[in-house]
């Protein structure tokens, strides 16, 4: 049974409180003194997303930056990177590393495999929120060693990242170099097809605007239409000139017109004289003879005109036939030329595509060759790791506060435990609680300056 008067308990058992607290404080001080110090050295790598690639000229997209940085963190924290650091720093020859490997529980594990895991266990690579900087930290009890290994990881990352880019670029360059031979042969083949087709057809260009064949066909068609119109008009004149009484074509010839006038005048004169003198009169006979001569001349001229019109119709018919044949031939030639131009355009497109593929492959091969020779990384060293002068663990201020709290709690706990094991009556309430009897009267017969006894029965 514990008393409820704790201040009295602590005053009475202050020796237990102070001794226990002192012992715990001493133990905490010893523990703080013997706890191994851990130092963290950090180096920082900066990735500038606004800087373009010196070879390609392209910039890293801001949307792809988080995944790119995560990939770089995986590369830094990879086992291959740790093995490279072990080789660069020659940690196998370091006594401490060798002793740790020999004391490991995994027998038969190669040194690099074991110690690569140990390095990665104390390595931390992370990127800040909304940041383009990767922080590479290494924890070790030796500050100089922590800084040396952190810098080694960064240097190895730069070297390995550049080596990977060069190796990949070299493979691409070799592959493009192999493809260039086939592409060059394809270019030569397509160009030879174009030249052979141009030599065979005589075409130089596939552009229809560069040829006068269509204009020539249009001119022939217009000329054929004119000839057909003249032929139709000639046939109409020929049909109307068949009748001797028709005067339609007589006006086309001044000779026939004059003869028809003379015939009309002579016929009128003959009719007048014959009515007056009679048909046997010599003057009438002379007029009749002159009329016959005029009719003969008129018939002769009319026949000559008819024969001329027939010849003109025949010439027009022949011209129509020749022009029709020429137009048909020209039309066939244009269709053939269009087909040849279409074929030439196809060959030219094939040649252009082959040349474009070759030029693109040549440019990519040149780009890959340049990338295989680049000597700088896109990432830059922002902060070099220096040996820290303050340990990152243990946190002495936090541990000191915890030690003070533990010391106080230990002293209090020990005092209360001692009181619980050996209780004392330290107040009226304790007496009532202990004896379970009512208090009749209080009678303290102890002088004020004298020390009260520690207990009362």
Sheet holding 133-140, edge to edge: 123-127, 133-140, 39-47, 379-383
What domain range includes position 323? Answer: 208-371
Q: What's phi and psi for 39, nearest 5 deg?
A: -115, 140
According to the model, what pLDDT value does residue 154 have? 92
Beta strands in 33-159 (DSSP E): 39-47, 123-127, 133-140
- Determine, yes or no, domain membership for 377: no
Both tokens assigned to 440: 């009749």
DSSP 8-state symbol, 448: T
Whether 75 contacts 81, CB under 8 Å: yes
Contacts of 108 by beta carbon, 8 Å cutoff, 6+ apart: none
- Determine, yes or no, domain membership for 199: no
Instruction: Please tell me the distance from the alpha carbon of residue 428 to that of residue 434, in angstroms, as a whole number.
Output: 10
pLDDT by position in tens, the chain (length 457): 455 567 766 776 777 778 887 888 888 777 766 666 788 899 998 887 654 454 444 455 666 778 888 888 999 999 999 999 999 888 888 888 888 888 875 667 888 888 888 899 999 999 888 788 899 999 988 889 899 999 999 999 988 888 888 888 788 888 888 888 888 889 899 988 888 888 887 777 666 554 565 566 567 666 766 666 666 665 565 555 544 444 444 444 677 778 778 778 777 777 777 777 666 777 777 877 877 887 888 777 777 777 777 777 677 677 777 777 777 777 777 777 778 788 888 888 898 999 999 899 888 878 777 766 666 667 788 888 888 877 766 666 777 788 788 887 887 787 777 777 776 666 666 666 666 666 666 655 545 444 444 444 4
Determine the Cα angle at 78 with ends 74 and 82, to 5°.
140
- Determine, yes or no, domain membership for 328: yes
Give the residue among 28, 33, 41 at the shortest CA–CA distance from 392: 41
Domain count of the fold of the chain? 1
- The H or E element that residue 380 is part of is strand 379-383
Instruction: Please tell me the distance from the alpha carbon of residue 288 to that of residue 430, in angstroms, as a whole number.
Output: 192
Tokens 């005048």 belong to 265
| Whole-number Cα distances in Å, 74 to 106, 121, 142, 153, 158 | 26, 14, 26, 13, 14
Kindly write down the DSSP assignment for every residue of 221-244, as one continuous string. Answer: HHHHHHHHHHHHHHHHHHHHTSST
- Determine, yes or no, domain membership for 119: no
- Determine, yes or no, domain membership for 329: yes
- Determine, yes or no, domain membership for 287: yes
Report if pTM > 0.85. Answer: no
Instruction: Please tell me the distance from the alpha carbon of residue 127 to that of residue 73, in angstroms, as a whole number.
Output: 8
- Determine, yes or no, domain membership for 227: yes
- Determine, yes or no, domain membership for 172: no
């Amino acid at each position: 049974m514990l008393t409820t008067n704790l201040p009295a308990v602590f005053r009475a058992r202050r020796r237990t409180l102070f001794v226990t607290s002192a012992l715990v404080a001493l133990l905490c001080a010893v523990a703080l003194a013997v706890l191994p110090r851990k130092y963290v050295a950090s180096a920082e790598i900066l990735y500038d997303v606004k800087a373009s690639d010196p070879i390609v000229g392209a910039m890293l997209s801001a949307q792809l930056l988080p995944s790119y940085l995560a990939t770089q963190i995986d590369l830094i924290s990879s086992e291959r990177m740790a093995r490279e650091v072990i080789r660069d720093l020659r940690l196998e020859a370091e006594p401490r590393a060798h002793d740790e490997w020999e004391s490991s529980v995994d027998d038969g594990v190669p040194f690099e495999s074991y110690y690569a895991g140990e390095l990665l266990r104390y390595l931390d690579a992370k990127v800040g929120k909304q940041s383009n900087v990767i922080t590479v930290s290494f924890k070790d009890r030796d500050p100089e060693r922590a800084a040396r290994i952190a810098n080694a990881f960064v240097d190895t990352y730069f070297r390995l990242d550049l080596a990977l880019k060069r190796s990949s670029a070299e493979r691409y360059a070799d592959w493009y170099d192999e493809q260039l031979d086939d592409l060059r042969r394809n270019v030569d083949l397509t160009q030879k097809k174009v030249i052979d087709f141009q030599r065979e057809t005589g075409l130089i260009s596939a552009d229809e605007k560069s040829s006068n064949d269509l204009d020539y066909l249009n001119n022939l068609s217009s000329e054929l239409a004119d000839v057909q119109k003249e032929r139709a008009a000639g046939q109409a004149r020929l049909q109307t000139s068949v009748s001797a009484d028709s005067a339609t074509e007589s006006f086309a010839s001044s000779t026939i017109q004059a003869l028809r006038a003379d015939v009309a005048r002579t016929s009128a004169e003959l009719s007048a004289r014959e009515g007056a003198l009679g048909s046997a009169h010599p003057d009438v006979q002379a007029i009749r003879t002159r009329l016959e001569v005029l009719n003969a001349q008129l018939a002769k001229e009319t026949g000559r005109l008819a024969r001329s019109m027939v010849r003109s119709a025949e010439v027009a018919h022949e011209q129509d036939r020749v022009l029709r044949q020429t137009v048909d031939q020209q039309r066939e030639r244009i269709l053939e030329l269009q087909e040849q131009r279409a074929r030439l355009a196809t060959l030219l497109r094939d040649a252009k595509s082959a040349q474009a593929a070759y030029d693109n492959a040549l440019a990519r091969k040149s780009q890959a060759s340049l990338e295989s020779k680049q000597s700088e990384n896109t990432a830059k060293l922002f902060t070099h790791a220096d040996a820290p002068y303050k340990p990152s663990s243990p946190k002495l201020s936090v541990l000191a506060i915890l030690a003070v709290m533990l010391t106080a709690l230990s002293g209090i706990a020990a005092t209360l435990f001692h009181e619980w094991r050996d209780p004392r009556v330290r107040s009226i309430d304790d007496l009532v609680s202990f004896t379970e009897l009512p208090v009749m009267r209080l009678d303290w017969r102890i002088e004020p300056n004298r020390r009260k006894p520690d207990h009362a029965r």
